[in-house]
Structure 1
Amino acid sequence: MEDNNRRNQPQYDDEISLVDLATTFLKRRRVFYAVLFSTLLAGIVYAVLMPERYDYVSLVKLAEKDSGSYIEKPAAIIATLENRWLPDYQSTYHAEHDGAIPFKVRFENPENTGLIRMVSEASPSQREGVKQVHAQLIDELSQAQSAAVSSLKQNLERQIESLSSTIKMLEGSTDAGAAIAAAFKKRLSLEATLNSMRPMEVLTVNRESAERKGPARSLIVLLAGLLGLMGGVFLAFLTEFASLVKAQLTEM
């Protein structure tokens, strides 16, 4: 009976046990260690030599017509920066240096504010270049804002002068009390707007972020170690597989 059961049990000659796996791994452990340490060393070297990069930020506050109201909308300013002034500077830079600016400039408007942030991620060696780009863009923005403030101021002054003339003309009329009161009210409103106007203000130029950008060096080394572990195990078994295939072909 026992002999029959043994004969009926299927034979799995191709099965690999955990002992076989451990034996194969120990046999090819040099391959594993070579891959692990070379990958780890490469990760350490990369982490040490990886250039430091920081965010360089410039911040301006747009000209105000009155409290919380800006002469030009921040979205319109950003559109002009992205589609006119920055491309103009890029063209000039390319013509002078025969190459593109080695960093990007992005523009942001914090919600419900009149602030415009210019942000560039660059290495410390590029700091002066970033400062030059930001300063040029701020200068373009300052000129545009000054022109907008001057235009609005002149418009308000003309309206105030016109209302003053109208009030003088109406003062001689006996039935112009309501019209004079409305003109006075309108003039006071325009004068309040004129007095509350504020020019554009540059808050900071090319300020370096406190923390460096990019992954931490410790994370790079950790990922290199994990990659070395996985790659070492894989190549150890792949080497053994190739060796067995070669031996089999030799016997044929």
Structure 2
Amino acid sequence: MEERPREPQSHYDDEISLVDLAATFLKRRRVFYAVLFSVLLAGIIYAVLMPEKYDYVSLIKLAEKEPGSYIEKPATVIATLENRWLPEYQSTYHADHDEQIPFEILFENPENTGLIRMVSEASPSQSEGVKQSHALLIDKLSEAQSAAVSNLRENLERQIESLSSTIKMLEGATDAGAAIAAAFEKRLSLEATLNSMQPMEVLTVSRESAERKGPARSLIVLLAGLLGLMGGVFLAFFTEFASLVKAQLTET
């Protein structure tokens, strides 16, 4: 029987085996080590020198008209803080120090509460500046809340006084029982509101958070090591590739 000739095996000059890759890597290992240790060292230095930052929180409870009902809505108060008092303070600070405030001041209202949170992320060295800034804004808010409470109190007292006068006038009239009862009920409601009013309360000023903000130092070093590892491998092979291209151009 005549044997069929074997087909020649396909061969590609540009095929690279794992042995070739390993040999190339070992040849350029100095590039790999240089990149790895450089990036890792930079990550360690950054982690050590990275400034610590914490959240500084001030908490205010708004003045209440009745339990659960506030003289001013929290959303309105926050809008006033963000669009009036904070810009005014920023302008004053810039005029006095010729620079912007080195930290942000954010305002929050926890859902279904009358609480206002002032939050600033800053380093311990800036804690005194944060405290002064929060205290100034709290003073502005306190003045506005006190004025609102005073106005509401005066309004309620006038209404109560007017109802008392109306009741005295109706007491001598005939068939005025229903009107007197309605006036009594309205006056009692107003007196209950007057007695249940609560002023604004400052719960805490610039309290430092227990945990530091930002990534942990160990995580930064780990990420730097991974970045150096990947960058070292890439540059090792890229260096070999550039060397081959240069040799080819020289021969040509």
When the two structures are superposed, what TM-score results if normalisation uses the length of structure 2?
A: 0.97
Rounded Cα–Cα distance in structure 1 between residues aligned with 2:169 and 2:67: 33
Deviations 1:129-160 (A, max 9, x none): 11111001000000000000000000000000
The residue number in structure 1 matching 2:108 is 108
The gaps in structure 2 that reach 5 residues or longer are: none
SS of equivalent to 1:5: coil
Q: 1:32-111 to 2 correspondence within 5 Å?
A: 32-111=32-111
Which residue in the other structure is 1:123 paired with? 123
The amino acid across from 1:24 in the alignment is T
Q: Which amino acid aligns with 1:136?
A: L
Q: Determine the structure 1 residue equivalent to 2:21.
A: 21
Deviation of 1:9 after TM superposition, in Å, equals 2.7
CA distance in 1, matches of 2:132, 2:4: 91
Tell me what 1:155 maps to: 155
What's the CA shift for 1:10? Answer: 2.5
Q: Which amino acid aligns with 1:57?
A: V
2:156 partner SS: helix
Q: CA deviation at 1:247?
A: 1.5
Residue identity opposite 2:45 in structure 1? V
Q: What code does the residue aligned with 1:124 have?
A: P
Structure 1 unaligned segments of length 5 or more: list them: none
Number of aligned residue pairs: give it: 251
Deviations 1:61-81 (A, max 9, x none): 000001000000000000000
Give the SS at the match of 1:153. Answer: helix
Alignment correspondent of 2:200 = 200
**Distance in 1, Cα, partners of 2:224 & 2:21:** 24
AA matched with 2:102: P
Distance 1:149 1:5 in 2: 102
- The answer to whether the aligner puts 1:244 opposite 2:244 as a matched pair is yes
CA deviation after TM superposition for structure 1 residue 244, in Å:
1.1
Indicate the residue corresponding to 2:175 in structure 1.
175
Deviations 1:96-148 (A, max 9, x none): 11111011000000000000000000011111111111001000000000000
CA distance in 2, matches of 1:140, 1:53: 27
- Closer/same/farther in 2, CA of residues 27 and 90 from structure 1, 3 Å limit: same
User: How high is the sequence identity, in percent, across the aligned residues?
Assistant: 85
Q: Secondary structure at the match of 2:6?
A: helix
Query: What is the Cα deviation at residue 250 of structure 1?
Result: 2.0
Structure 1 residue 225 corresponds to structure 2 residue 209: no
Residue in structure 2 matched with residue 216 of structure 1 by the alignment: 216
Describe the SS at the equivalent of 1:101. Answer: coil
